[in-house]
C-alpha cells in the first residue's frame, strides 16, 4: 500500500505541478513567463461573479416614446432640432471630446452585440457570439460567428442561473456603445467620435448579463487566439472597449488575457462602473485590473457625475450624461425584439468609455508609428490625475506641438518616469516601436510545445514508477 501511494503521489506531482497540460478547449490561461497554456477549472468559471453592463436604461420618457412608435424626428424632440453641433454636446460642445478621422482602425466592442443600423452602415465588421449559455444567448443556440444582438430581454417563463428574472426589455447596449465610437448619419446629423473606424462586435453579454468565461474567451478570440467552435479572428482590434464590470478583485485569468492584449499593442478601455463608490475602497473589475484605462463619466456641464465610480489613482473622464440630459447614440426601437433604427439617450460610464476608445482610434490613425496601447499610456499620463474631460485637440497639441518639430509633448513624456500617470497605466514606453511587440509563439506552437513536454514527463514518470516496482521487494524487506 505504501508503494502504491507513493506511485500515485509521484504521478500526480509530475502531471499537475511540473507538467503543463496542453488543451484545445476554451478553458485556457496563459503563462507569459513560460509561454505555456494551462486549463483553468470549470468550477472557477461557473462560480465566478456574474458581470453586469455598467449602464443605465434609457430614460422613462424614451421608453414610452419607443412604445408609441414615434419617428426619428419626433423622438429626437425640440432639444435636438438644432442638429448635432448642439444636440451632441458630448462631442461638439464645450465639454465634448471632439471628433476626427480613423479609417480602418478597429475597435473591439465586448458587449451585447450590435444590430444593423443606418448610422453604422459599412462600419461594423464580422464578429462572434461568445455566449455559451443558451438561455443567456436568447438566440436559440450557443457560441457562433453571428454577433447580431437579438435583444437581451429574457422571454417569459425562462429564468437565469439562480432563479433571477433577467431583463424585461432589451437595452441595445452594444449598439449604443458602437455608435458613440463611429456612427455617421447625415440625415439626422448624428456622428461618433472616430469617423471611419470599424467596430468588431464581440457578443458576451446577454439576457442574464455575462459570465467571466464568456468575456475572457471574447478577449482571447478578438486578439487571434483559437476558441473552440469559432473561426480564428484575423482582423485584430487596435482597441478593446469593455463597458461592463463586476464586483470583486481582478480575476487572475482576466489579468492574464489582458496582458496578452497589451503584448499585441492593443489598448484596453473600461468603464469605471455606476455605483458611485470610491474604487480605492471597493473592488470593481476590470477597473481594478492592471494596465487598463479606466473611464468615469461627466455630465453636460463637465461635472463628474454622482453615479460614476472614482478614485485618485488614474480614472480619466469623458461624457456619460446626467439624468436630465443623456448621451444620444444608435439603438433599435423594439422593446424586446428588433424593429426599426432609432436614436436614444442613455447615461452611464458605459457611454463614457467609447468616447475614449474613439479618441484613441483617431490618434492611432494620425500616428501610425505608435500602437493604440502607446496612445493609451499618453492619455493616462495626461489625464490620470486631472479632473478634466479628455479632449482630442489637447492630446494632439501635447504629442505634436506645431511650434516644435521635435514635439514638446512627446519629449516631455519620454523623459518622465511615468509616476504621474496613475497606478493602472503601467510604465511609460520611451520607444514606441519597441512597444509594438507581439506574442513570440502562437497558440498552436504553444500547445504543441506543452504536448511534447508532457509526453517527455509521461516517459519519465513511467520509468520512475517501473523502478519503484522493481525496488518494492527490497523496500518491504527493510521494513
111 is catalytic: yes
* Contact between 352 and 297 (Cβ < 8 Å): yes
Neighbours of 159 (CB within 10 A): 12
One of 58, 111, 272, 461 is an active-site residue; which one? 111
Neighbours of 442 (CB within 10 A): 13
Cα–Cα distance, 53 to 209 (Å, whole number): 7
Q: Tell me the β-bridge partners of 225.
A: none
- Residue 250's nearest CA partner among 227, 220, 270 is 270
Calculate the dihedral angle through the C-alpha atoms of 127, 124, 170, 112, rounding to the nearest 10 degrees: 30
* Contact between 409 and 398 (Cβ < 8 Å): yes
Quickly tell me which residue has 484613441 as its cell: 360
* Contact between 26 and 228 (Cβ < 8 Å): yes
Cα–Cα distance, 85 to 80 (Å, whole number): 9
Cα–Cα distance, 474 to 479 (Å, whole number): 9
- Residue 365's nearest CA partner among 396, 397, 406 is 396
Instruction: Assess whether the previous peptide bond of 286 is cis (omega < 30° from 0).
Output: yes
Neighbours of 319 (CB within 10 A): 29
176 is catalytic: no
365 is catalytic: no
One of 117, 129, 139, 173 is an active-site residue; which one? 173
One of 58, 308, 350, 461 is an active-site residue; which one? 350
Q: Tell me the β-bridge partners of 267.
A: 239
- Residues belonging to the active site: 111, 173, 350
Amino acid at each position: 500500500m505504501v508503494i502504491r501511494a507513493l506511485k500515485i503521489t509521484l504521478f500526480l506531482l509530475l502531471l499537475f505541478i511540473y507538467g503543463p497540460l496542453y488543451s484545445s478547449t476554451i478553458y485556457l490561461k496563459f503563462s507569459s513567463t513560460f509561454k505555456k497554456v494551462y486549463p483553468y477549472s470549470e468550477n472557477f468559471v461557473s462560480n465566478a461573479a456574474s458581470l453586469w453592463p455598467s449602464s443605465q436604461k434609457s430614460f422613462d420618457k424614451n421608453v414610452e416614446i419607443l412604445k408609441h412608435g414615434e419617428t426619428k424626428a419626433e423622438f429626437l424632440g425640440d432639444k435636438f432640432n438644432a442638429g448635432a453641433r448642439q444636440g451632441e454636446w458630448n462631442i461638439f460642445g464645450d465639454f465634448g471630446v471632439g471628433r476626427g478621422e480613423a479609417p480602418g482602425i478597429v475597435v473591439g466592442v465586448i458587449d451585447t452585440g450590435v444590430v444593423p443600423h443606418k448610422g453604422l452602415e459599412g462600419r461594423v465588421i464580422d464578429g462572434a457570439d461568445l455566449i455559451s449559455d443558451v438561455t443567456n444567448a436568447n438566440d436559440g443556440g450557443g457560441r457562433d460567428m453571428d454577433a447580431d444582438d437579438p435583444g437581451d430581454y429574457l422571454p417569459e417563463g425562462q429564468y437565469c442561473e439562480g432563479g433571477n428574472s433577467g431583463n424585461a426589455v432589451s437595452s441595445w447596449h452594444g449598439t449604443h456603445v458602437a455608435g458613440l465610437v463611429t456612427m455617421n448619419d447625415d440625415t439626422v446629423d448624428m456622428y461618433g467620435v472616430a469617423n471611419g473606424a470599424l467596430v468588431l462586435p464581440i457578443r458576451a453579454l446577454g439576457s442574464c448579463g455575462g459570465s467571466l468565461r464568456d468575456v475572457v474567451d471574447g478577449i482571447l478570440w478578438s486578439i487571434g487566439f483559437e476558441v473552440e467552435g469559432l473561426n480564428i479572428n484575423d482582423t485584430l482590434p487596435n482597441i478593446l472597449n469593455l463597458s461592463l464590470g463586476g464586483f470583486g478583485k481582478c480575476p487572475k485569468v482576466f489579468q492574464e488575457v489582458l496582458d496578452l492584449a497589451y503584448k499585441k499593442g492593443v489598448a484596453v478601455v473600461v468603464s469605471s462602473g455606476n455605483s458611485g463608490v470610491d474604487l480605492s475602497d471597493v473592488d470593481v473589475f476590470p477597473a481594478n485590473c492592471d494596465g487598463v484605462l479606466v473611464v468615469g463619466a461627466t455630465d453636460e456641464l463637465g461635472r463628474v457625475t454622482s453615479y460614476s465610480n472614482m478614485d485618485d489613482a488614474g480614472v480619466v473622464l469623458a461624457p456619460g450624461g446626467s439624468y436630465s440630459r443623456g448621451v444620444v447614440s444608435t439603438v433599435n426601437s423594439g422593446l424586446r425584439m428588433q424593429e426599426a433604427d432609432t436614436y436614444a439617450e442613455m447615461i452611464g460610464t458605459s457611454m463614457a468609455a467609447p468616447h475614449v476608445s474613439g479618441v484613441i482610434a483617431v490618434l492611432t490613425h494620425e500616428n501610425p508609428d505608435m500602437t493604440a496601447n502607446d496612445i493609451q499610456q499618453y492619455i493616462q499620463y495626461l489625464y490620470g490625475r486631472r479632473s478634466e474631460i479628455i479632449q482630442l485637440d489637447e492630446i494632439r497639441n501635447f504629442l505634436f506641438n506645431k511650434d516644435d518639430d521635435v514635439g514638446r509633448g512627446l519629449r516631455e513624456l519620454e523623459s518622465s518616469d511615468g509616476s504621474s500617470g496613475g497606478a493602472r497605466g503601467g510604465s511609460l514606453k520611451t520607444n514606441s516601436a519597441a512597444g509594438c511587440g507581439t506574442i513570440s509563439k502562437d497558440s498552436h506552437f504553444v500547445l504543441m510545445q506543452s504536448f511534447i513536454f508532457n509526453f517527455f514527463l509521461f516517459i519519465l514518470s513511467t520509468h520512475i514508477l517501473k523502478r519503484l516496482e522493481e525496488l518494492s521487494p527490497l523496500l518491504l524487506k527493510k521494513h
